Structure 1
Amino acid sequence: MDRAAYDAYVAAFNARDYDTVCDFYAEPINMNFFGVALRSRADMKAFYGFLHAHAMETVRVLNFASSSSLTAVDAIVRVEATRDMTPEALAQQGLTQFHPMRAGDVIEMRQFIFYTIRDGRIANVECAMAPA
């Protein structure tokens, strides 16, 4: 995935255009991060639909590298709660590993995101977070 394609992917993500985001993925989707496993368009839409109903999330790329088989991104992921994300709401979604947030809370995380590319599509996603 070259930088122009990745920028289009991030623009779709930041715009909450989940159908376009999913079009970048090989089927079945294989995204794993922080205890979350997304395996389908429905999984992706359900997870991000819940998260983005409670928070504005944006990705800002700091560093980018790619080859025919791997895209690596160093990014700041900013999550700003627009409404309370309670422990109960997180538990109902099976997301007890996530921190509750109150409306107005902001978390910025430096993440290293690795995309395995197969036939021009994202075949696997793995993330690591830099220490605070």
Structure 2
Amino acid sequence: MTRDDYDRYLEAFNARDYDAVLDHFADEFELVFAGYVFRTKDEVRRFYAFLHAHIAESVRVREFVSDGNMVALEADVRLEGIDEVTPEMLAEQGLERIQTLARGQVVTLPQFIHYHLVDGKIVRALCAVFEPPVAQAPA
């Protein structure tokens, strides 16, 4: 996956075009982050539909390295609370480990993301936060 390929993937993600995002994934894959593992495209769609109904998320790549078998990058993931999410709502979705954000609260999560590729498709994506989040007070 080239940087141009990844930029198209990221553009689709930032636009909430989940079908275009998932076109980059193999039929069998693992998406791992925050202690969760998603293995089907429906699981990924369901998770992001819930998350993005309550949180505005955007990803900005800081460093990028790739070859035919992998992509490794450092990114800033910006999350902004747009609607209230309670711990109970997260529990109903099976997402107890995810922290809530107040409406207007902004958090920037520096992340390391490592993608494993087979035939140009993502078969495993590992997302790790490598620094504490940088939180800003609600506006």
User: Smaller-chain TM-score range?
Assistant: over 0.9
> Following TM superposition, where does structure 1 have runs of at least 4 consecutive aligned residues deviating by more than 3 angstroms?
none
Please state whether the residue corresponding to 2:115 is helix, strand or coil.
strand
Give the aligned partner of residue 4 of structure 1: 4
Letter in 2 for 1:31: L
Deviation at 1:29, TM superposition (A): 2.7
User: For structure 2, which runs of at least 5 residues remain unmatched after alignment?
Assistant: 133-139
Q: Deviations over 1:18-71 (max 9, x none)?
A: 000000000123101111211111101100000000011000000000011110
User: For structure 1, which runs of at least 5 residues remain unmatched after alignment?
Assistant: none
Q: Distance in 2 between matches of 1:3 and 1:74?
A: 13
Whether the aligned pair in 2 keeps the contact of 1:32 and 1:126 (CA below 8 Å) is yes
Give the aligned partner of residue 117 of structure 2: 117
Q: Say which structure is richer in strand.
A: 2
Letter in 1 for 2:125: V
Please list, as runs of the form range in 1=range in 2, the aligned pairs for 1:1-132 lying within 5 A after superposition: 1-132=1-132
Cα RMSD, aligned residues only: 0.7
Q: Percent identity?
A: 42
Q: Distance in 1 between matches of 2:109 and 2:76?
A: 6
Deviation at 1:101, TM superposition (A): 1.4
Aligned residues: 132
Q: Which moved more, 1:26-35 or 1:76-85?
A: 26-35
